[in-house]
Amino acid sequence: MVGFFAYAKSLEINVDKEELEDAKWHSREDVKKALTFAEYKKAQRTAADRVDQICKGVEKGQNLSADFSVESGELASMFIPGPFAIAHHLISSWANQVVVNGAETHGKQPGSYLSSL
């Protein structure tokens, strides 16, 4: 599997409902918060349980994200896959970039965005 960074031509999002339930733009600040969310691991476990339910035959078309929350009952702002997923590395790499004079550079941890797979 490979992952790429790209720039969008516009901020308009067209969602193919056969592929994705929802899609949104998020600020870098919000993504950083999600990556450090105190209940992040609980949110990952909850999501993994929901994926397991789907695989075991939860009714097709059921909206599992509408009631997605961490075990404490607090709503998670967004779900970011764990470090086992290429999406996690792409997202955390983007979130940790710093903009200096209009140019993006990587944050304090060089190489932290590279997969060790």
Averaged pLDDT, 65-81: 59
Assign 64 a pLDDT band (cuts: 50, 70, 90): low
Q: How many helices (H) and strands (E) does the chain have?
A: 3, 2
Q: How do the domains of the chain map onto residue ranges?
A: 28-106
Of residues 80, 73, 88, the one with CA closest to residue 24:
80
CB–CB of 77/27 below 8 Å? no
Higher-confidence residue of 109 and 22: namely 22
Q: So what's the pLDDT on residue 98?
A: 78
Asked if residue 93 has pLDDT above 70, the reply is yes
Q: Say whether pLDDT at 38 is over 90.
A: no
Q: Which residue has the higher pLDDT, 7 or 83?
A: 7
**Who contacts 103 (Cβ-Cβ below 8 Å, separation ≥6)?**
none
Which residues have a Cβ under 8 Å from the Cβ of 23 and sit 6 or more positions away? 13, 15
